[in-house]
């Protein structure tokens, strides 16, 4: 029987879809919990799911002692610093705005990819990225050119972008030796211990006082299993094959998915300006991907 080959872009698209939806699920949970609590709980669930799956399929890998530092650094940037920036940014902005800023990752990733691994992109690649970035800016400002979010939220979110860029450098090095499944499982486990002191000191008491509801349980499970587990496994797999710059270009689609589902699930405004921005984002991604095939 011929083995079915799944195109690598499927993994990147699926990761971006789940990450786009994660802004919706996180926004729902922020009505009940503080940011660290949400991250801490989703990492516990995600780690349990991933390590259980590793045990079930018998895919055990030994981490070399010299790579411990690299594993810690990757977990420090993501999930620790990235999720802090993302969740506090989301607290002071809307899901779509948060996703729009996170989508600026591809704008800076070519420089990171070049400096770290000498990855090459053509001029057409940069034109595609510029078009996507134009769409992002269009979605970020209002008609009177004022910012559509609190400046505190924007600063936190750009901090998350910076952490994500440094994370991809660590990730690229680790994917050369270890499976995506092992990487994400260990990074989430390390993340639990990084967040533990903050949870105990600042948020444990208030978190315990929140009564569980179906909305909380479902949103947390979706965040943990899809956004914190499958998405990172899929993304790590795409980085291994496509590289940093090419994989991160798909991040432009995150605000597209977030805007669509914010409209459908949260009744967030969805006007002509936002639609135009989405079209530009998609157009830039398509242009970038087509040009890379000729390199």
1 domain residue, yes or no = no
The number of folded domains in the chain is 1
Residues 6+ apart with CB under 8 A from 277: 100, 135, 136, 137, 138, 139, 255
Nearest to 106 by CA among 177, 16, 7, 241: 16
Residue 39: give the domain boundaries: 8-292
* The model scores a pTM over 0.75: yes
190 domain residue, yes or no = yes
Measured distance CA(139)–CA(101) in Å, rounded: 10
Residues 6+ apart with CB under 8 A from 46: 184, 188, 224, 225, 228, 229
264 domain residue, yes or no = yes
2 domain residue, yes or no = no
94 domain residue, yes or no = yes
Distance in Å from the first CA to the final CA of the chain: 34
* Sign of the dihedral defined by the CA atoms of residues 226, 228, 230, 236, in that order: positive
Measured distance CA(88)–CA(97) in Å, rounded: 13
3 domain residue, yes or no = no
Give, for all 295 residues of the chain, the pLDDT tens digit: 344 456 778 888 899 899 899 999 999 999 999 999 999 999 999 999 999 988 888 777 888 888 999 999 999 999 999 999 999 999 988 888 888 788 777 667 666 666 666 666 677 767 877 887 788 788 777 776 666 678 899 899 999 999 988 888 787 788 788 887 888 899 999 999 999 999 999 999 999 999 999 999 999 999 999 998 888 788 877 877 877 667 767 877 888 888 888 888 888 777 787 788 878 877 776 676 555 444 4
234 domain residue, yes or no = yes
């Amino acid at each position: 029987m011929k083995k079915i080959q799944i195109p690598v872009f499927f993994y990147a698209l699926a990761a971006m879809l789940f990450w786009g939806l994660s802004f919706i699920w996180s926004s729902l949970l922020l009505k009940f919990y503080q940011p660290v609590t949400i991250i801490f709980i989703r990492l516990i669930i995600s780690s349990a799911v991933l390590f259980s799956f590793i045990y079930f399929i018998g895919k055990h890998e030994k981490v070399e002692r010299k790579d411990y530092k690299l594993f810690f650094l990757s977990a420090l940037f993501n999930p620790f610093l990235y999720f802090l920036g993302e969740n506090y940014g989301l607290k002071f902005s809307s899901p779509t705005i948060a996703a729009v800023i996170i989508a600026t990752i591809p704008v800076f990733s070519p420089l990171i990819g070049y400096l770290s691994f000498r990855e090459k992109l053509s001029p057409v690649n940069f034109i595609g990225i510029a078009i996507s970035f134009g769409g992002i800016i269009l979605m970020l400002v209002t008609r009177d050119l004022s910012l559509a979010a609190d400046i505190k939220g924007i600063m936190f979110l750009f901090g998350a972008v910076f952490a994500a860029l440094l994370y991809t450098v660590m990730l690229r090095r680790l994917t050369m030796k270890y499976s995506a499944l092992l990487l994400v499982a260990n990074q989430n486990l390390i993340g639990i211990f990084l967040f533990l002191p903050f949870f105990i000191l600042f948020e444990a008491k208030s978190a315990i006082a929140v009564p569980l509801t179906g909305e909380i349980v479902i949103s947390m499970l979706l965040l943990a299993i899809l956004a914190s587990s499958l998405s990172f496994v899929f993304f790590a797999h795409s980085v291994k094959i496509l590289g940093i710059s090419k994989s991160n270009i798909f991040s432009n689609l995150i605000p597209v998915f977030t805007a669509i589902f914010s409209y459908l699930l949260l009744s967030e405004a969805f006007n002509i300006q936002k639609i135009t921005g989405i079209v530009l984002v998609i157009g830039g991604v398509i242009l970038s991907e087509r040009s890379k095939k000729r390199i």
